[in-house]
Structure formats: structure tokens, C-alpha cells
A and B are shown apart, each in its own frame.
Chain A
């Protein structure tokens, strides 16, 4: 039996619960965190802190392995260079995040919670990703 879809499903569920418990699935709370000049809600800094505290241990364990616990290939990103795409992409993402208070994970969780606005955001996000694929494939053909 292939375990990989099952473990991915469980990881997705736990990730989703984490977003719900932490309040990160609520765009109003995300915007309250990003609003330094208003009534600032620092909660989301602690979400990051909690996630990274556990992640530091998890990824330290992962870094010493070439195989997953079920024997599949385990590959960690190796790039260390900072290029223009990374910076421009990061800057653009922050603007979108600040406009609606949604980033990709919370949007999918809010979609599951039946929020119509999350559906609008998710469809637009998929369209944005589609535009990227289109630009990349064009780039690929001109490069070749």
C-alpha cells in the first residue's frame, strides 16, 4: 500500500487545524497583525514562533536523512543565492497579502469553511499561478 497520499492528507489536516486554532485562517486577525499603526494584534508573531520552534527540530532531523521514514527520496532545497525574482516575488506577495489578509493556506481553509470570499480569492490565485506558468513556458521557448 502506498502511504504517501495518506500521510500528505494527515499533514494537510493538521496544518489546517493549526491555521484555525491560531487565528491565521481569519483575514481580519491577519490584517490586525499587519496594522502596526492601528490597534496592533501581535498574535501572529507567536504563530510563526510556535511553528518555527517545532520546525527547527523537524528540519534538523530531516537534514540528516536522505530517505523519508517510509523509504522514499527526501530532498531539501539547496539554493542559497538571492536573485531578483525572489525579491520581486516576495515584495509582490506581501502587497497581495496586505490587501485582503489572505495567503494561500488560510484561503484554502476558509474555502473549506464555506466562505464565498475565499472562493473568489482562490480562483484569482489559481489564475495568477496560471499566468506564471504561461510566462514561464514562453520564457522557456525563447531561451531554447
Chain B
């Protein structure tokens, strides 16, 4: 294994992670809800009275974050390597699977592991495993 030390950003990674943990804490303590993005977005497709506004507000926060950021500083790099067909396939898979498995990186990976939930530990192990495997196949088997 080769570690890309020049790309390694331990301090911003930890600081950004702490902000994510803080946001998840705020949402559970003030709204009583789990900060699972796929669940929050998915719930909008099955709207229930009194359960929609907070979802829209949270999603608005995510989308507005880079706009607010760019008022004060230059946005960090966002580089998308995948082309349109791959983005469509990936999006469909992520949308369907996260609802099927009741969670994604935030709901299972951050909130679930923070709650020491055995379900989330299994789900996180599953998506990490296929995440690693998929990149291996794409970059070193097909693309190699």
C-alpha cells in the first residue's frame, strides 16, 4: 500500500468531521431526528403532515452551505471524475440502496456508529467493503 502523504489532510479532516458530529448532535437534541441524509431526503417523497418542513430546512442548509461559504472564502476543490452515464447509474444505485438499507454514510456511518448500533455497524461494513471493491475494479481491473 502506498500512502499519498501529499494529499493527506489530517487536521481539516478531523475538524470537518467534528463539525459533522456537531450538526448531528444539534439535529437530535433540537429536532429529535437522526441526521441521515438519505432518510431525510427520502422522507420528502412520502410527505407526512408536520414532518416535511424540518426536512426541507435541513436540505436547504446543506445546499446553501457552499453559497454562504463562498461569500467569505474561496470554495475548496470539488472534482467530479465520473461522466454523465456513470453519475446516473451511481445515483440510481445510491438512491435505491440507501432507502432499501435504511441509511447511508451519515445515518449509519456517523449517527449509527455514534449510537453503537449493531445494525449500523453491519451496514457500514457492507458499504465500505463494496466501496473499496468497486474502486479497485474500476481503477485496477477494468481501467488498469
Q: A43-B7, A46-B17, A55-B113 are in contact. Are A127 and B127 (CB under 8 A)?
A: no
For B13, what are the chain A residues with a Cβ–Cβ distance below 8 Å?
A: 22-23, 43-47, 50
A128 and B112 CA atoms in complex are apart in Å by 23
Cβ contact within 8 Å between A94 and B16: no
How many chain A residues sit at the interface, stated as a range, is 35 or more
Cβ contact within 8 Å between B31 and A68: yes
Closest to B113 in A: A52
For A74, what are the chain B residues with a Cβ–Cβ distance below 8 Å?
A: 28-29, 32
Cβ contact within 8 Å between A132 and B96: yes
For B15, what are the chain A residues with a Cβ–Cβ distance below 8 Å?
A: 21-22, 50
B71 at the interface (CB under 8 A from A): no
For B106, what are the chain A residues with a Cβ–Cβ distance below 8 Å?
A: 15, 103-105
Cβ contact within 8 Å between B101 and A87: yes
For B48, what are the chain A residues with a Cβ–Cβ distance below 8 Å?
A: none
A99 at the interface (CB under 8 A from B): yes
> B111-129, CB under 8 A of A: which get 1 and which 0?
1111101110011111111
A117 and B134 CA atoms in complex are apart in Å by 20
Choose among B21, B81, B95, B131 the residue that contacts A127 (Cβ–Cβ < 8 A).
B95
Interface of A is mostly: helix
- Of B67, B89, B94, B95, most buried by chain A (CB within 10 Å of CB) is B94
Cβ contact within 8 Å between B29 and A18: no
B89 CB, nearest partner CB in chain A, Å? 6
Closest to B127 in A: A94
Cβ contact within 8 Å between B139 and A35: yes
Cβ contact within 8 Å between A28 and B79: yes
**Which residues on B are within 8 Å of A, measured CB to CB?**
1-4, 7-10, 12-35, 37-38, 41-42, 45-46, 53-70, 75-82, 84, 86-106, 108-115, 117-119, 122-136, 138-140
**Which residues on A are within 8 Å of B, measured CB to CB?**
3-29, 31-32, 34-59, 61-63, 65, 67-70, 72-77, 79-82, 85-105, 107-115, 117-118, 120-133
Subset of 29 A-B contacts with CB under 8 Å: A8-B54, A9-B61, A11-B35, A12-B58, A12-B59, A22-B19, A26-B76, A26-B79, A28-B79, A31-B81, A38-B2, A40-B3, A40-B4, A47-B17, A49-B14, A74-B28, A80-B119, A86-B101, A87-B126, A89-B103, A91-B127, A93-B94, A93-B98, A98-B138, A110-B78, A113-B75, A131-B92, A132-B95, A132-B100
